[in-house]
Amino acid sequence: MALLPLPEDWDRALAVVAHPDDLEFGASSAVARWTAAGKTVAYVLATRGEAGIDSLDPEQCAVVRSAEQCASAQVVSIQDVTFLDYRDGVLTHSLELRRDLARAIRSHRPDILVSINHHSTFGPGSLNHADHRALGGALLDATRDAANRWVFPELVAEGLEPWHGLRFAAFNASPMADHFVDVTDFLHKGIASLAEHRVYLENLDGDFDLVQFLRSNAEQAGIEAGVPLAVTFEVVNL
């Protein structure tokens, strides 16, 4: 099936992921395109990625990775970054997570959601992280929770009225991608954004070349999309 251009006739997006760096492994190039066009994008992260660096204890790691995420977001003109402070590595598709994501949706009142792949794999032989799987499912459920005043009535008591304005959720790096964003003029921003995760990248196993990784993925997606460089998304209409 041919990839379709991701609709861009919207004003506000909320990007929701499990960890620092999740958006920077692809989606941030698209975010750079959107903010350059004057769209409003905010980030919500379920954890601070404190279990992501073996050589750092979780408390120290949380500080490092939170700072790297905020610096990374600024590269693509994002000032609004919220951490929900769930524990890294043991995220579950829970009522508590659904409530907190519904709260974020009602607070930001976005037109669309952006996240990353929540399926069991990224493709044959590439297991997805348990936190990504839990986050994606909870986020999709939260879209309905955010619109229903009788689910989590405590949110109404907080002054957060239901939000019915969501149009779709777009999941980057999905093996079921059906849409694309042309990032030909913005890949350099995505590369610079990922590079801000310096300590995390230095602790990856092997010799990871972030420029080659992002460029090769964008080139392959571009071939499928019919543009020089692209980022792909699976769109779920809401």
pLDDT tens digits for range 10-19: 999 999 999 9
Q: What is the pLDDT of residue 185?
A: 98
Residue 4: pLDDT above 90? yes
* Whole-number percent of the chain with pLDDT over 90: 97
Residue 207: pLDDT above 90? no
- The mean pLDDT of the chain is 97
DSSP labels, 61-115? HHHHHHHHHHHHHHHTT---EEEEEEPTT-----HHHHHHHHHHHHHH--SEEEE
pLDDT tens digits for range 155-175: 999 999 999 999 999 999 999
CATH homologous superfamily of 4-237 equals LmbE-like (3.40.50.10320)
Smallest CA-to-CA distance from 42 within 106, 95, 138 is with 106
Residue 1: pLDDT above 80? no
pLDDT tens digits for range 66-84: 999 999 999 999 999 999 9
pLDDT tens digits for range 76-116: 999 999 999 999 999 999 999 999 999 999 999 999 999 99
Q: What is the pLDDT of residue 112?
A: 99
**Predicted TM-score of the model (pTM):** 0.97
Residue 206: pLDDT above 90? no
Helix axes 58-75, 187-195, angle to 10 degrees: 160
Q: Which two tokens stand for residue 129?
A: 């992280």
pLDDT tens digits for range 179-202: 999 999 999 999 999 999 999 999
Domain regions of the chain by residue span: 4-237
Q: What is the pLDDT of residue 180?
A: 98
pLDDT tens digits for range 44-53: 999 999 999 9
